[in-house]
Structure 1
């Protein structure tokens, strides 16, 4: 049941996203579009409540409960960024908006961009870690929490990988090829 609900939440996320953007740009109803987009956090709340009820009713915590926590964490850490990304492309394609800003390719501007990306991934993993720890405490010593601990280790690995990637761009910045225009370093988008 939990996996089905996670799939429903993911499909619901994209349906609400496309629906909200369609209302905003195609139907020229920005308030209605915003209202639809603001319904997206309700999906995570429903998933959180159902998962807590499932555990409360005596279900043994397993990979599905961990996946629910990870899904919620990633929705919190990356959801807003995904919405802004889709909004910029939708506005450009259907409403004559400016082309989306591409991330910088070279130098410290690229390093700053990579740290911003890493911050979102670290936030996502940290929220997932907190939810997983909450589930561990919720279950207590009565249940097998090894699958939840396994998900926590995976989230720590996600954090480390993102910090290593961002750090590599800082320590070894990619240089522009000789003869490349200085205009290749575009201003950072505020995602």
Structure 2
């Protein structure tokens, strides 16, 4: 298995481990300060991944699709990280601290959230594209970074799909389910 892929997997596991431990400390152990510290460690995981990718390439390694995947992971983590942590926090608060049930969205409210996600995806794509550009500029050897160019179309397709998703829910809103009697 490619070293960078293993680091990406470890960082993804690390991200969710910090989230899980932070929420367990916050709601189950009733240690909110420890929970906040653990949740604040999630961006450190991103720095570890970015540093590993840069070191690998600067040490003479050639970029692979997995280096591009790392850029995509970083873009998603930065753009969607807060939303993912909030999503998990709402569920933990509901389950362990008698917080309100997570809200299900329908109609215009769902469409509005879809547009917010499209904006987040645009941000994630921009961050990933910027990281790819930075890596190619930093290494300055197209023969070693050529594989990164193949990630740009994937970013474009992902953004287009998210735009279509938002448009579709604007034109055909998600209906509120009928109440069962």
Tell me the TM-score normalized by structure 2: 0.90
Unaligned 5+ residue runs, structure 2? none
Q: Answer yes or no: is 1:135 the counterpart of 2:135.
A: yes
Unaligned 5+ residue runs, structure 1? 182-191
1: CA distance between counterparts of 2:59 and 2:76?
A: 26
Q: Answer yes or no: is 1:65 the counterpart of 2:67.
A: yes
Superimposed CA distance per residue, residues 11-62 of structure 1 (whole angstroms, 9 cap, x where no aligned partner): 1111111100010001111111001000111011011011101111111111
The offset of 1:112, in angstroms, is 1.0
Q: Answer yes or no: is 1:50 the counterpart of 2:49.
A: no
2: CA distance between counterparts of 1:20 and 1:175?
A: 33
Indicate the residue corresponding to 1:189 in structure 2.
none
Number of matched pairs: 177
Alignment RMSD: 1.8
The offset of 1:109, in angstroms, is 2.5
Q: Spell out structure 1 runs of 4+ moving beyond 2 A.
A: 141-146, 173-177
Superimposed CA distance per residue, residues 119-165 of structure 1 (whole angstroms, 9 cap, x where no aligned partner): 22222122111111111212224424332111111011111111121
